[in-house]
Amino acid sequence: MAATCDMELEHVKDKGGATLTLQVINGRYYPTFPADVIKNIGTLKIREDDVILAGYLKAGTHWVWEILRMLLAGTTDVPLQEKDMGMMEFMEQGILDELPSPRVLNTHILFELLPAEVLTKKPKIVYLTRNPKDTAVSMYHHNKKLWSYYQYDGQFGDYLHLFLDGKVDYGSWFEHISSWSAAIKEHPELRIKGVNYEELSQNPQQTILEMAQFLNLTPSEDLIPQICQACHIDTMREKKAQFDLDSEGQAIMYRKGLVGDWKNYFNNELNTLFDDVYHKKMSAIDTPFKWHF
């Protein structure tokens, strides 16, 4: 007998008493996306020429999704789209099935929750990592600005406890890193490339070239500099902010994109708390992924 999927909303309280509205499916936290779509991810049909972009929420997937699309197209002149169009846990499978190959799919879920056909079709997978302190800050603003999803208005110091406890959408950052680290060790037959947000920020041309090589592409000499310009956060904010605006008309998905912005939010107490939890949890995780504090 197939297992049943129970779904409910939970209003998770932060340390200050503000609540974050999340959806619970099979004991895991998600945004309030269509529940049936989330439940059916495991049966999604995968193609051998798919490229799957995975990463924890706010790791820079909007940015890298655009880069991958342009690399595959061989041009920066790609249709103006939001990455939700290829998001496994948001878009109905029938719509994803209609996308032309090669598809750039994207997701924030754990490796073990991916479609079963990933193990047989072996699509290329890019796994994106980012400094977890910057990730926490970016998630805080994401949760506050997307009021229609989360109804959250707490303070960062109170929110950080939720992040460290995994009581946010998609659950624990540490579990996500552990899941994908284990996948690389346990499935050497799969093609998984780690890409780091900070390295992409500091050396975009080299990092994009490495992604192109991973995809077995030979971009023209001028394409990568063009992609760097087309995917700069200022350019993306100008072109794509219209897809997601907060109540004040400000971009939700393209806020700052800075490396090290966490230093403007962490006081000494929060930084010590984070470092203590980080070193405790990460000591048990053998990971090939890296990020820069």
Distance CA 109, CA 120 (A): 19
Q: Which of 42, 11, 285, 289 is nearest to 143 (CA)?
A: 11
Distance of alpha carbon 143 from alpha carbon 164, whole angstroms? 15
Q: What does R_g of the chain's alpha carbons equal in angstroms?
A: 19
CA-nearest of 198, 207, 256, 248 to 227 is 207
Q: What is the three-class DSSP state of 228? A: helix
Spatial CB neighbours of 150, under 8 Å, sequence gap ≥ 6: 20, 21, 22, 31, 143, 144, 169
Active site residue 292: no
Cis peptide before 102 (omega within 30 of 0): yes
Cα dihedral 257, 263, 265, 271, rounded to 10, equals 130
Contact between residue 61 and residue 55 where contact means Cβ atoms under 8 Å apart? yes
Q: What token pair was written down for 100?
A: 């032309």
Does residue 251 sit in helix, strand or coil?
strand
Are the beta carbons of 197 and 128 closer than 8 angstroms?
yes
Tell me which of 62, 108, 141, 176 is the catalytic residue. 108
What is the pairing mode between strands 51-55 and 124-129? parallel
Length of the chain: 293
Q: What are phi and psi of 251, to 5 degrees?
A: -65, 135
Which residues are identified as catalytic?
A: 108
